[in-house]
Amino acid sequence: MSGQLMLSDKRQRRADDASILQVIVDQFVERPVHPFSDIKQFERLALGLIDIVDAGAVARVARPLCFHPETPPSIFARLLDKGGPCAELALEYAPALPRAETAVLAARCPTGFALALSRRRDLDREIIAALMSRNEPRVLRALAGNLAAHFESAARRVLAQAARDDVRLARLLLDRDDLEIDPGPLFLAATRLERTAIILNACRKVLASGYAEPRRADPDFVARLEDAALRRDREEMAALVASALDCRKDRALAALTDSLGEALALTLVALGVDTEAATRIFLCADAPIAHDVDRVRALLRLMRSTPQRAAAQIVTAITGAARTEKEPARRNGSREEAVTAPGWRRSLPRQNGVAARKLDQSA
């Protein structure tokens, strides 16, 4: 019985301490300016209570302090030391963090801390690099969603490459009109309007570099691809395409099963599959394509209007393929440049970004 009373008393003391902390924080934040003596008194009381109050309660109570200009720096340091939700609060909202220590922390801290740090408005190149080196999808998405973060060219390339395998990250990057980023790896997450802009940009680049004789796919390869399509064996189709392009099978599968069919059409162009065989493959595709004659016709028009090198560039960007452009590269003396960002958005209507996505979805 005495043990239960002691436990009850301990819980009550914790609740009382949390209430006291709440009161002094409320009193502090309700005034924009304080005498120096009041700030020091608040600092002394708050630091003592932060040490003994539960971390979850401290994080809830201390949040308003993050937005008060006279909150002592020692408060943020103590929140960081306390860990858990308190540290996340400090990492996201502390007015300033020591750069060298923060970069090390960014690379090694728990995911929750890294997410909080990724949302800061004052991230510099070193901290962004440290966060990206973690290669965690949630952290990369948080960085991409931070509109205050500035990404240099190397960081933009890393984000675009990671977005090949993360549709949510790709969509976040496409919605950022401020980033000059290679849109090719983001193709599967793009709207129809954005895809049109990506394809037109690729076509302009290859047409400006001169004509190249298109390559034709090996008939045996086409026959095996058609046979797998007829059996609706997507895994076999992906294995054939992955081998032909020298890319990962899961990325080949993602291109082949694209719900709009445009990635499939571009892949067939890049491989040199003729439109007659492509028609049979489209008619064996998933229902949204195979059961829509107008869609099949549109995909065939896309194949006829897209130069092979332009299709190959986009497919290379989507899949990380290595083989699609080796022959043109030898003929031209150097590998074709990847589809780059500058200018590709000019092919979109004026309402680009999120507005373009809504317009596209309503079409």
* pLDDT tier for residue 102 given thresholds of 50, 70 and 90: confident
Instruction: Quick: pLDDT tens for 215-258.
Output: 999 999 999 999 999 999 999 999 999 999 999 999 999 999 99
How many CB atoms lie under 10 A from the CB of residue 27?
12
Instruction: Quick: pLDDT tens for 249-262.
Output: 999 999 999 999 99
pLDDT of 332 above 50: no
Cα(340)–Cα(181) distance, integer angstroms: 7
Find the mean pLDDT for residues 95-124. Answer: 86
Among 50-54, 272-276, 320-324, whose mean pLDDT is lowest? Answer: 320-324
What percent of the chain is modeled with pLDDT above 90? 67
Give me 117's structure tokens. 């740090």
pLDDT of 2 above 90: no
**Per-residue model confidence (pLDDT) at position 208:** 85
How many residues does the structure list for the chain?
A: 363
Model confidence, pTM: 0.77
Q: What angle do CA 18, 24, 27 make, to 5 degrees?
A: 140
**Per-residue model confidence (pLDDT) at position 342:** 53
Q: What is the mean pLDDT of the chain?
A: 86
Give me 323's structure tokens. 């083989």
What percent of the chain is modeled with pLDDT above 70? 85
**Per-residue model confidence (pLDDT) at position 10:** 67
Instruction: Quick: pLDDT tens for 12-26.
Output: 777 888 999 999 999
pLDDT of 333 above 90: no
**Per-residue model confidence (pLDDT) at position 252:** 97
pLDDT of 327 above 70: no
**Per-residue model confidence (pLDDT) at position 213:** 82
* pLDDT tier for residue 324 given thresholds of 50, 70 and 90: low
Give me 103's structure tokens. 């970069």
Instruction: Quick: pLDDT tens for 189-198.
Output: 999 999 999 9
Residues with Cβ within 8 Å of 28's Cβ and at least 6 positions away in sequence, in order, are 34, 42, 46, 65, 68, 71
pLDDT of 316 above 50: yes
pLDDT of 98 above 80: no
* Cβ pair 38, 3 in contact under 8 A: no
